Amino acid sequence: MFITHSRPARWRAGLTAIAAASLLALTACGEGSPSSDADDSGASGAAADGELTSIEVGVIPIVDVAPIYLGVQEGIFEEHGLDVNLTLAQGGAAIVPAVQSGDMDFGFSNITSLVISTSRGLEMELVAAGPQTTGNADDDFSAVLVPEDSDIESMADLAGKSIAVNTLNNINDTVLKEGMRQAGGDPDSMDLTEVAFPEMPGQLEAGNVDAVMAVEPFKTIVSQTGAREIYAPYAEPIEDLTVAGYFTTSQRIQEDPELVDAFVTAMKESQQFAEDNPDAVREILPEYTSLDPEIIEELTISRFPQEINTDSVQRIIELSLETGLIDNEVALEDFIYDGA
């Protein structure tokens, strides 16, 4: 089964509902039990006896995870012998330790969070691609927005300005600082301020920040207040950026490679299904988010590639090291799974 929420008629009410949804921590979604309770007789992936292997996957209630919901709905995972239980969490702060401890088999997180965790000694590997930038600076699923009457016109104009980001010391810092560097400015000249996505429209309207960096659906919600886009932080500084993906532990890969390969193959097919069927992406969103239908209709949908863009991941690692987000180099060959 899926978690559902009521859908309010106006965007301000929608913010409240989305905020409530984002506070769901480790809420079970799906029938069955975690794989830790499943039969460990050796059957994994597409089980030889035809029975499904139950797995627990941690996800976040955002547009980016629509492919895995579609994969479950369309029976793609079942075709590969998997009974997927989707667990909603507030973010990677809950998902990473759950995967590390074995309470979850796989999890969803942005690339920078995984790079930081890996650099600190957690043995995790990126196994499947998640969302990727559209590559179109005029129509991407992330944007830097300013008030309509602001004199800020470009990334260079953000020097000395305050920019709201949902999380500090993460992928936001990386792409914004690289964008400023490419614009010829000082990457450290911006005042990045942590503001939860649902609060960004109000903070921008009140003049408490000069700009906000928002992803969908909040990019559309902020735009509907009259704000305008001046930069695409995912599309512009790093080519074809893989923004997030699905991961598991190195131990899981070593102990059950068939299970991991089955998951990877099913995720690739689910990503392709979402890429080929954007209307299906919009239709699945009410099943696990509280988004208003009018917001869903206006959303910019990311790309959903089958393969991880390794060049973009390598650039994230390099920039994380350059900006001090990590102290130790992360080897790409150890960070990205090269199985299925």
Can you read off the two tokens belonging to residue 159? 């020097």
Which pLDDT does position 94 carry in this prediction? 82
pTM for the structure as a whole? 0.83
> Chunked in runs of 10, what are the mean pLDDT values of the chain (340 residues)?
33 38 33 33 48 96 95 98 93 86 96 94 96 96 97 97 94 95 96 94 97 94 96 97 97 96 98 98 95 94 97 97 93 90
Range of the domain at 187: 142-231
Q: Which of 330, 18, 315, 328 is nearest to 171 (CA)?
A: 315
Give the number of other CB atoms < 10 A from CB of residue 336.
17
Question: Quick one: which of 310, 41, 312, 250 has its CA closest to 125?
Answer: 250
Q: Residue 112 domain-assigned?
A: yes
121 and 258: one domain? yes
pLDDT on residue 332: 95
Q: What is the pLDDT of residue 1?
A: 33
Same domain, 252 and 110: yes
- Looking at the structure, tell me whether residues 124 and 250 fall in a common domain: yes
Residue 260 one-letter amino acid: V
Residue-level pLDDT at 58:
97
SS3 (DSSP) at 211: strand
The DSSP H or E segment spanning 78 is helix 76-79
Does 181 share its domain with 305?
no
Would residue 283 count as lying in a domain?
Answer: yes
Q: What is the predicted pLDDT for the residue at 13?
A: 38
pLDDT score at 47? 53
CATH number for 166 = 3.40.190.10
**Short-list 198, 194, 319, 337, CA closest to 268:** 337
The helix (run of H) or strand (run of E) holding residue 229 is strand 228-231
- Looking at the fold, whether 185 and 283 belong to one and the same domain comes out as no
Q: What is the pLDDT of residue 32?
A: 29
Number of domains in the chain: 2
